[in-house]
Each structure stands twice: as structure tokens, then as C-alpha cells.
Chains A and B, each alone.
Chain A
Amino acid sequence: MNPLAKKYLRPSQIPTKACHGCGIGMIENWLLQAIDELGLKQEDVVFGTGIGCVGRQTFATWGGDNFGATHGRALAVATGIKLAQPERRILVVVGDGDAASIGTSHLIHAARRNLGVTVICEDNMGYESTGGQFSPTTPAGYVTNSSPYGMVEPSFDPCDVVKAAGATFVAETTATQWHQTVKVVKKALQNDGFSFIHVRFPCNENFGAYALGTRDTLKNLEWIYEHTQGRKADGSETDFTWETGIKHDASNSRPEFTRLLREMNARVQSDLADKMAARA
């Protein structure tokens, strides 16, 4: 068995029910590598997920404490947990639907507050567990099961959104960038504030099959690789390019949200004590 899996995962819950060749397991492996390289233990990290392939296939695989929120609400739940357990790292692993569609308002406001959580948005460019409909991150023009004539809506970049909202660490990678991903996850986990990492990966079953015309993992990964490089294997330019890397790094530059609340409480309580003393 993979030694990282042995160290951090829950034997009864792996392997997951993810399809053969799916990128979800691979990315989780990278997350474990980052956690391990930082010397974190199981009890240091609370693992939170949403609904969808990304959520369901990773929920309860983590050997420590896990929560799987309803669709879109993982960050709202994480906010409550962080109030009560400020010392814990909260790793929220969600899909593009969870983060960039149904739960976007929680994402934006968690970023605005600089809540101390690390969000990994594993983006397969669609709603895959419901069978491959387009999502707000599906590239325009691409065919999915609910855009049979091509995706009409423009897509958006969740990194831009969280950066504008006030996130203190923002990075983007793809499933073809192992070391890069481990590096940015480590940086994200060292930021005492809101960190967001956007990782694109191929869904072979749906996005691959309908948008790209193949369920072959290697072909799908190749498509991701080409769009990361901006060049196809034959040297021609791709239809668009993802800019990967660190998008914004203001780590530890402003106070984590729950710390601000605790500081306010200390101030209020000491003022109150002074008042009581003056009255006595």
C-alpha cells in the first residue's frame, strides 16, 4: 500500500468508488504528500467535503475527522467549526459545482472574512456525478450533456473571484502538475487565513466522453496538459490556455477571521471587567 495512504487514510474507505482512471484519487495523494511534508498529524486536520464526485469519493477516506456537507454548504459548516476549533486546519475539498456555483456566496464571504481554511477546488469542468452537465467553469463552446449544441454561457475563473473577495492565498494548477500542486498546497496550509487552490482534472466518464470524445485517461490528461502549456503536441496553439501557478500570495498579511473575533472578545471582556471594578 502507498505509505501515505497507510499513514493518513482510513483502510475501510479506500479504494474509493471513483471510476477507473479518475483524477480524484491522484490529487488526494498529492494533498497527503503536502500534509506529510509539513509534518501534520491526522488529528491536526479536519477534512471537509461537499456533494458530487469530488466530495463523495474523498469523504471519510481521511483517517481523522470528516464532514460532508450538503451541496454547496461546506464552507458555511467550516466557518462554524473554525469558531469552535480555531487550532485545527480545515481542509475543504470540493468540486466546481460546490465551490463555483451552488456555494459561491459562502466561498466569497469566507474569502472576504479571511477565514482560516484551505479550499481545494477540484474542477472537472462540469457536474459529473449527475452525469456530466456544464458548470460555470466549463469552457465556452464545449459539448456536455446539457449543452448538446456547445456551452453558450461564458465561464468564469473562481481564482479571480476569491482574489477579488480578499483571499490571502490563491493558486491554480492542473492534474498534470504534481510537484507544483504539492508546493502550493503546502504554502496554502501555512497561510493562517483563507487559501484557495483550483486544480483542474479530467473526468473520463463524462467530460472526457462528451466534450473531448474519449474516455481514455491518458488522452484526457494530454488535453489538460496541452491547455496548461498553450500548445498541442503538433506545436499548434490550443483554443485557450490556463495560467497556472500562484495567482496571489498575501499569506499571513492580515489576521485570520476567528482570531479577530477572539481579540474583540478579550477587549470587550476587559472593558466590562473595568466597568464592574469601577462600580464596586
Chain B
Amino acid sequence: MPPPSELVAPWVEWERRVTKGRRLLEAGTFALTEGAIAAGCRVFAGYPITPATDIAEYMSKRLPQVGGYYMQAEDELAGMHMCAGASLGGLKAMTATSGPGYTLMHDAYGWSITNEIPLVVVDAMRVGPISGITGAPGQGEFYIARYASHGGNFETIVLSPSSVQEAFWLTIDAFNLSERFATPVTILTDQVVSDMWEDLFIPDDYAGLDFVVPRRTNLTMPFFPVGSDAIDVPPNIIGRGTGVCVSAYTHTEEGYDIEEMEAQWAQTHRLVNKIRHHRSELTRYETVGMDDADVVAVAYGADARTVKTAVLEARARGLRAGFVRPITLWPFLDDLFAVDRHYVVCELNYDGQLVREVMRAAPDSRKVHFMGKSAELHTVGEVLAALDGVARTGRIPELPYIWTEVR
């Protein structure tokens, strides 16, 4: 009997509805590009970097075919700001990069978040710090993606796919959420999902995808519903003579700069609560064996693939093992860790990022175990050994290249 498993994501239903399409063997970068085109993306502005370069190349080919614009920006600061400008002008936009370029995007993030500009940012993570190893996967941007700008006073939405097919649907989802929540949405993918070739189903008719949230435009005051937590508010447009003002400063409903406690409060209320109060709209995850598991392996992105295989193998060997793969990384899905049991958190960094959130969410942080690795996915054997060790002794045994210390 296979263990009960669950995938909670809007594309479960989309896949049932879309029957006409093509089956291809394609790369993750191709799926991310096609997902964006299907979602109505008409501007890509970025700067080439491994392993996101192929997205730029695919975009340079695809966008002109659908009347869109490919911009090879002078750097990533320009790339994301161009996307923000294009989105303000009424076109859906996306940029894609990897760690070194991602770091340069922070002021564009802050500007886009404050001004409630919908757009999508792909970060194909590679191992670091800084340039690290170009062709190796990493998961070092879990926190950076959440705290994508200085200054605080905002929430962010971050999603992570673990297969080529999922990269396609999730990109559409990311665009939908960016429109609905009027904010940049980050796709944290990694070198493996980007470069890997897999089966990919893509619909024949993108125009007929009724689950794609279209771009709407707000033509009247208030331009910024400060003080409100409402979602599905149409974003502003520049260039239609509405008189909208968009700036880097704390703003009023009109968009004017203001230096007042009251305005700071109202803006923060908006930027934080439009996301916090609608968390349920953002729940996406996959689980296996959560009914009876004593020890649960946690992983996301490409790394979740070998980890899941290990969990299934462990169960076949009689261990009560479970698996959690958060697809929504932020806002963090605390509820997945509500039950008091052992959690083995596998992630591709040695410092421990995801594990800290699991420690915070789980009832007993002493039962949260860290299994950090860098530059290569966890092997099935490593995860099996860890699950077995935790089940029997409450500890992860010593393994080469595995780091278990968090503090």
C-alpha cells in the first residue's frame, strides 16, 4: 500500500482541466519561460548568469513572437527596475538571475514592494557565497528572498518548484499571485531544476487558459489603499494620465511622500497584512505519510526529489517516515509542522536556513534535526541513514559532507 500523499497547489486542478497540449522533453529554464509566456508576460529584462541564462535566451526568442519585449539590461539593478517600469506601464514582466545578480536587485525589490508593482523574479540558486561554483546547486537564498529589501515593514511571497513540469505551472501561479497581491513574487529555483530536462506538458492554447489572472488597471484614487488589507485590487498604471505618483518614500493614498507616524503605520499595515491576512490563498505543499510518521524529512526544490525517494524507501523498509515539501517558502507554512514529532530538515547550505523556521514552527525544537549539504543534492543513502538514526537514537549519525550543527 502506497503511503497517503497530498499535493496542495492550484495546478492540481489546472492539470485536470487542460487536456489539449503537447508532451515535450524540455529543460526547467524552458518551462519557466513558457509558463511566463502562458501567464501573459510581455517583458523580460535581465542580465545573463548561469544557471538562469537560458531563460534570457528563450525569452529573446519567444517574446517578439507574442508582441513582447526582451531587454538585455546593463546589469541586474537595471533589469529589475525595467521590469518594474514596464509593469507600471501596464505589461506583465519578469526577470531571472542567480545569486550574484539577485544581490543587486534589492533596491528594485524595495521600490516594487512599496509601490505594489506586480512582477516575477526568478532566482536560480547556485552554491555560494558569492560566485561559488557556477554549475552546482545551492539553497542559500531562503532568507534573502524573504527579506528582499532593507528597512523591514513588508511581507513577501516566495515559491519553489521541484520539477520541470511544476516549474511551468508554478510560474503561471507566481504571475497570478503577483497580480492578485500586487507585489513582486519570487521563484526560488536552483541549478538542478533549471538545467534538468524532463517530461513537460504544455497546453496548446495559452489564450484559452481561464485560470490566468489578467492584468487590470486602476484609473482612480486611491492609488494606494494604505490601511487596507484587501487583495485583488487592480494595480496602478503610469502613462494613462491618472495623476498617479510612485516613489521610493513612505506614501499617502495619492502616492505623495510623507513623513508622519500615521502614514508609516497605514503603509505598513497594507504591505504586511495584504499578505498575512490572506495566507490561506498562498498554501502550496506536498506531503507523504503524514498520518502515521514519527520522523519527517523536510526539503524543497530539486533536493526534495532525492529526499522523497529516501522516505518512500524507508517506509518500504518498515520505518514510519514522512515527507514535507513546502512549495510556498514564504509566508512560511507553520501549520505543516504543528504535530510533535521528529523533523529532519535537508537543505543545500551549511549555515542552516529552512531549519531555523522549522525549529520555530515545531512544538519541540530539540526534535528538529539539521542535515546541511552543499553543492550536491542529498543522496538517498544519506537521507535513509539519517531517518534511521533519528528513529532509533534520536540523532543523525555522522556522515561525510553532512553538517548537522545549527548553532
Task: State A42–B247 Cα separation when bound (angstroms).
Answer: 19
Instruction: Tell me, yes or no, whether A32 is within 8 Å of chain B by CB.
Output: no
Min Cβ gap A244→B in Å is: 29
Tell me which of B62-70, B161-169, B227-235, B280-288 binds A.
B62-70
B64 touches A76 (CB 8 A): no
B248 touches A84 (CB 8 A): no
Task: State A70–B245 Cα separation when bound (angstroms).
Answer: 14
Task: State A109–B81 Cα separation when bound (angstroms).
Answer: 14
B67 touches A269 (CB 8 A): yes
Instruction: Tell me, yes or no, whether A223 is within 8 Å of chain B by CB.
Output: no
Tell me which of B190-198, B249-257, B271-279 binds A.
B249-257
B residues in contact with A69, CB < 8 Å: 81, 111, 248
* Closest A residue to B244 using CB positions: A65
| Residues 92-136 (chain B) with a chain A CB within 8 angstroms | 93, 107-108, 110-111
Min Cβ gap B319→A in Å is: 52
Q: Which of B64, B75, B79, B245 contacts A269 (CB 8 A)?
A: B64
B73 touches A268 (CB 8 A): no
B residues in contact with A64, CB < 8 Å: 241, 243
A66 touches B244 (CB 8 A): yes
B65 touches A269 (CB 8 A): yes
Instruction: Tell me, yes or no, whether A264 is within 8 Å of chain B by CB.
Output: yes
B residues in contact with A187, CB < 8 Å: none
B residues in contact with A19, CB < 8 Å: none
Tell me which of A55-63, A93-101, A118-126 binds B.
A55-63
A83 touches B91 (CB 8 A): yes
Instruction: Tell me, yes or no, whether B385 is within 8 Å of chain A by CB.
Output: no
Min Cβ gap A27→B in Å is: 20
Instruction: Tell me, yes or no, whether B202 is within 8 Å of chain A by CB.
Output: no
Q: A83-B69, A265-B67 are in contact. Are A67 and B247 (CB under 8 A)?
A: yes
B247 touches A59 (CB 8 A): yes
Instruction: Tell me, yes or no, whether A139 is within 8 Å of chain B by CB.
Output: no
What are the interface flags for A241-268 relative to B under an 8 Å C-beta threshold, 1 for contact and 0 otherwise? 0000000000000000010010011001
Task: State A42–B74 Cα separation when bound (angstroms).
Answer: 31
Tell me which of B51-59, B82-90, B139-147 binds A.
B82-90
What are the interface flags for B34-57 relative to A under an 8 Å C-beta threshold, 1 for contact and 0 otherwise? 000000000101000000000000
A70 touches B241 (CB 8 A): no
Instruction: Tell me, yes or no, whether A152 is within 8 Å of chain B by CB.
Output: no
What are the interface flags for B213-249 relative to A under an 8 Å C-beta threshold, 1 for contact and 0 otherwise? 0000000000000000000000000111111111111
Instruction: Tell me, yes or no, whether B71 is within 8 Å of chain A by CB.
Output: yes
A81 touches B89 (CB 8 A): yes
Q: Which of B43, B78, B256 contacts A84 (CB 8 A)?
A: B43
A residues in contact with B81, CB < 8 Å: 69-70, 73, 76-77, 80
| Residues 35-68 (chain A) with a chain B CB within 8 angstroms | 42-43, 46, 51, 56, 59-60, 63-68
A residues in contact with B243, CB < 8 Å: 10, 42, 63-65
Instruction: Tell me, yes or no, whether A179 is within 8 Å of chain B by CB.
Output: no
Task: State A57–B247 Cα separation when bound (angstroms).
Answer: 12
B107 touches A73 (CB 8 A): yes
Task: State A67–B255 Cα separation when bound (angstroms).
Answer: 9
Instruction: Tell me, yes or no, whether A238 is within 8 Å of chain B by CB.
Output: no
B89 touches A80 (CB 8 A): yes
A residues in contact with B73, CB < 8 Å: 76
* Closest A residue to B75 using CB positions: A105
B85 touches A79 (CB 8 A): yes
Instruction: Tell me, yes or no, whether A88 is within 8 Å of chain B by CB.
Output: yes
Instruction: Tell me, yes or no, whether A199 is within 8 Å of chain B by CB.
Output: no
* Closest A residue to B45 using CB positions: A80
Q: A65-B244, A66-B244, A73-B107 are in contact. Are A46 and B93 (CB under 8 A)?
A: no
B residues in contact with A43, CB < 8 Å: 240-241
Task: State A72–B245 Cα separation when bound (angstroms).
Answer: 18
Q: Which of A13, A63, A68, A109 contacts B78 (CB 8 A)?
A: A109
Instruction: Tell me, yes or no, whether B174 is within 8 Å of chain A by CB.
Output: no
Instruction: Tell me, yes or no, whether A167 is within 8 Å of chain B by CB.
Output: no
Instruction: Tell me, yes or no, whether A106 is within 8 Å of chain B by CB.
Output: yes
Instruction: Tell me, yes or no, whether B77 is within 8 Å of chain A by CB.
Output: yes
* Closest A residue to B87 using CB positions: A80
Instruction: Tell me, yes or no, whether A91 is within 8 Å of chain B by CB.
Output: no
Q: Which of A60, A108, A264, A269 contacts B247 (CB 8 A)?
A: A60
| Residues 118-176 (chain A) with a chain B CB within 8 angstroms | none
| Residues 8-25 (chain B) with a chain A CB within 8 angstroms | none
Q: A13-B256, A84-B43 are in contact. Are A70 and B111 (CB under 8 A)?
A: yes
A80 touches B245 (CB 8 A): no
A77 touches B82 (CB 8 A): yes
* Closest B residue to A43 using CB positions: B241
Min Cβ gap B68→A in Å is: 8
* Closest B residue to A59 using CB positions: B247
B residues in contact with A80, CB < 8 Å: 43, 45, 71, 81-89, 93
Min Cβ gap A10→B in Å is: 8
Task: State A73–B240 Cα separation when bound (angstroms).
Answer: 22
Q: A46-B238, A65-B244, A68-B246 are in contact. Are A83 and B43 (CB under 8 A)?
A: yes
* Closest B residue to A42 using CB positions: B241
Task: State A118–B239 Cα separation when bound (angstroms).
Answer: 15
B residues in contact with A83, CB < 8 Å: 43, 69, 71, 82, 85-86, 89, 91
Q: Which of A10, A46, A56, A65 contacts B257 (CB 8 A)?
A: A56
A residues in contact with B111, CB < 8 Å: 69-70, 73
User: Can you list the 9 inter-chain pairs with the closest CB atoms, starting with the nearest?
Assistant: A80-B85, A84-B89, A43-B241, A85-B239, A68-B247, A76-B81, A80-B86, A77-B85, A80-B82
| 20 further interface pairs, Cβ-Cβ under 8 Å (given A67-B88, A73-B107) | A60-B247, A65-B240, A65-B245, A66-B244, A66-B255, A70-B81, A70-B108, A71-B107, A76-B77, A76-B78, A76-B79, A76-B81, A78-B85, A80-B71, A81-B86, A82-B89, A83-B69, A85-B89, A108-B74, A265-B69
The contact sample of 14 A-B pairs, CB cut-off 8 A, is: A46-B238, A64-B243, A67-B85, A68-B248, A68-B257, A79-B45, A79-B71, A83-B69, A84-B239, A105-B74, A109-B78, A265-B64, A268-B64, A269-B67
